[in-house]
Amino acid sequence: MTSCLINLRKAKCLLYTLLFFFALLSASPHMSLSLFSLPPLISFPLKPLRSACSPVLHSVSLSLYVIFNWKSNHIFEGEMESSADKEMVETVQRSFVAPNEETPKERLWLSNLDLVMRPDCYTPIIYLYVPPEGKCNADVEEFFSVTTIEKALAIALVPFYPLAGRFGTDGDGRREIDCNGEGALFVVARSKLTRHHFDDFKPSTKNRNLFVPVVDSNSAVHQLPPLMLQMTYLSCGSVVLGLAFNHSVVDAHSDFHFMQALTNIAKGNSSIVPAPYINRTLIRARSPPLSPSKRQAYAAGTKSESLGHTSKEISPPVVSTILKLSQCQINCLKSQRSSNKSTDSAAVSTFQAVSAHIWKVFCVARGLAHDKESRLIFSIGIRSRILPPLPEYFFGNGVTSTVATATVSEVIGFIPERIREAIGQVDDAYIRAHIDDLEVADKDRVRNSNRMTESDILIASWLGMPCYDADFGYGKPVLVSRAETGMTGVAVLINNPGKDKGISVAIELEEETMELFKNAFYDFN
């Protein structure tokens, strides 16, 4: 009997090995190398494979990791997660999806607004999709097909071909994109978690590591893919789609442009996808660059954005949360009178009112001295502000940074007009001066010299962006969020879904400060 069982196991091992190599030989040259064409909850039987072949393969997940990453010299942290995290989310496919047609093999020049971002800085976004009521695990392929998403990605990467390239350098050592068509990282995973894990979702490093691909911090720059995507099938049948866009390649505006294209292609509507404008030379520095301006600026994507503290500081425990504001509460903030009695409150925008409120509560929660200077740092789009305006579908980093500065006593008095003034100064001259400043500056020094202090807060706005329009044909997501905020003292604004005209504020602060912040956040007096 024992001999029969051993022979049966050997036979199973041989069968699965043959199936595996058949998958290798039959893979399309334009598609990614993929052992699993079906969602992991109902696809290739991992447990029999692992038990039958464990003497040969030792570990199925390790073998897949090695097979699918041989070209990248193990730049991905697939086997570096903690054992607890691996139990929560198990990777079953890791591959590269290349464009399904030939694309221009060119070197794409990056602007100064691209280069000021760290090359390993990614924008991690998660989408949660819930199947229609009555669907069960057995219907998961019908609900969210790996094959459909993978094919759509291969098609989308044709017009958006820079996302399939890798970083390179020109003859002067300037970073650029080598549009070599190597492809975007595509991961399929499954998890024992359910959608209820997201009922009180908070952006965090843990959630980012679970649901969004992560690169090894020691990876060489030329190995970093501009786009990484992960589909995680939850045990309840829901799906988490996690994407990481390299911020040195594209900004949030371009991120969501790509998502609109990807979802339309998945639904068979590729003809209505607006093509991206790839050329970035419209925002070259002037020649020669004009003398450095005296603009007050903060370089977005600085080293502090990843670390949050200097090496001499001891980082306290930090937490994040998402706080919601209803349309009624926003209107209340917009109608508030500033401490500056001459301010016209009717001119206050939603962004100005909400940001002024966050700034005020932040100063109160941090317990800052009233005579201390505080800075509100935020990015602002330049597409329509530069002259001539950039094409509507300009694909790259089309943002600059600006700063509103005031004493804490002024901030506590509620000063949306100070934010409006900071926005108002961002015109063509301001933008051109910023680009020229970066041309003559050491960009590494710029990234590393600007650090946020305890009195500074950074606000990123996704307001007005089509975050919740990402429908692949299975319904719109019930949750869209950054997977993590990035560092302490950062807040991200995003519109709530559906008919709700409110706003969600994701923010990360020290534990003690967060409690004070939450207690004061809904006090509109």
Q: Which residues are catalytic?
A: 247, 471
Cα distance between residue 58 and residue 204, in whole Å? 33
| Contact by Cβ (8 Å): 451, 302 | yes
Angle CA(510)–CA(513)–CA(514) in degrees, nearest 5? 80
What is the radius of gyration, based on Cα positions, of the chain? 24
Local structure of residue 509 (DSSP, 8 states): E
Cα distance between residue 161 and residue 158, in whole Å? 5
Helix (H) or strand (E) segment spanning residue 231: strand 227-233
SS3 for 338-402 is CCCCCCCHHHCCHHHHHHHHHHHHHHHHHCCCCCCEEEEEEEEECCCCCCCCCCCCECCCCEEEE
Cα distance between residue 148 and residue 267, in whole Å? 9
Cα distance between residue 105 and residue 275, in whole Å? 18
Residue 173 to residues 167, 170, 279, 414, 447: CA-CA distances in angstroms? 11, 5, 20, 47, 17
| Contact by Cβ (8 Å): 40, 93 | yes
Cα distance between residue 119 and residue 314, in whole Å? 26
Encoding tokens for residue 458?
Answer: 């950074």
| Contact by Cβ (8 Å): 524, 329 | yes
Cα distance between residue 353 and residue 340, in whole Å? 14
| Contact by Cβ (8 Å): 253, 159 | no
Q: Beta-strand (E) ranges in 382-453?
A: 399-407
**Which residues, other chains included, contact 396 with Cβ-Cβ below 8 Å and sequence gap of 6+?**
110, 111, 113, 114, 249, 250, 251, 254, 280
Give the largest Cα separation in the chain, rounded: 92
CA torsion, points 84, 86, 89, 92, in degrees to nearest 10?
Answer: -170
- Provide the 10 A C-beta neighbour count for residue 183: 25
